[in-house]
Amino acid sequence: ASLSIASCHWRRFLRRGRALGFGMDLACWAPKDKSVSVPVPPPTCFLSCIVAAAGLRLWGRRIPVLPDTVQRLIVLTARVAGASAAGVGIWHSLAARDHCLARFTPVSHGHEVQQLMTDGPFASSRNPMYVGMVSTIWGLGLLDNTWWAPILSLPFLAYLEFIVIPVEEAHLSRRFGSSWEEYCRKTPRWVF
């Protein structure tokens, strides 16, 4: 009985942390593992792209996706599509994060993965959080009618593709072996 009470309190603690989203180590239960460490956490790079794009949009040269001569309805439709892509991207990233945390598997680097996620958001992509981040950046660019966000997402994509994801996949391959290899055969790294 005391174990179920403790488990209930722990889940409530995690939900509260998810709702607040700050000041909490959401991977505190997982053992540390330096082999999964990366130089800069992807969420930091993601937020840096958004802030830099906003700064360049405000104080730099304007690079519109749609020129000023385009009809207002087309611009409005593009902005609605951008807002939708950004919203879906945020939702997808948070859904993937919550899916992991519900199974006590950390999402932060430097911690040992507890369980291989192959269902939910991870059924269609091996990296749904990163797909969500990129969708959010591109959507915000379309919403704001600027090329700055997609342009600044290119170094972020390169960082994910050539530094972060190889570190993660090497760790998962060591940890889960044939289960990981089978998952890789069935599920794309990104979306396609």
Q: What is the pLDDT of residue 32?
A: 73
Please, what is the average pLDDT of the chain?
85
Name the residue among 180, 179, 178, 158 with its Cα closest to residue 168.
180
Asked if residues 150 and 138 have their Cβ atoms less than 8 Å apart, the reply is yes
Grouping H, G, I as helix, E, B as strand and the rest as coil, residue 148 is helix
Least confident of 21-25, 32-36, 46-50, 113-117: 21-25
pTM to 2 decimal places: 0.82
Grouping H, G, I as helix, E, B as strand and the rest as coil, residue 111 is strand
80-126 residue pLDDT tens: 999 999 999 999 999 999 998 888 887 777 777 888 999 999 999 99
Instruction: For tokens 């180590």, name the residue.
Output: 25
Asked if residues 89 and 46 have their Cβ atoms less than 8 Å apart, the reply is no
- pLDDT greater at residue 168 or residue 26: 168
- Identify the band that residue 1 occupies on the pLDDT scale cut at 50, 70 and 90: very low
Name the residue among 74, 119, 65 with its Cα closest to residue 96.
119
- CA atoms within 13 A of residue 178's CA, in its CB half-sphere: 0
120-175 residue pLDDT tens: 999 999 999 999 999 999 999 999 999 999 999 999 999 999 999 999 999 999 99
Over residues 9-28, the mean pLDDT reads 50
Cα(127)–Cα(123) distance, integer angstroms: 10
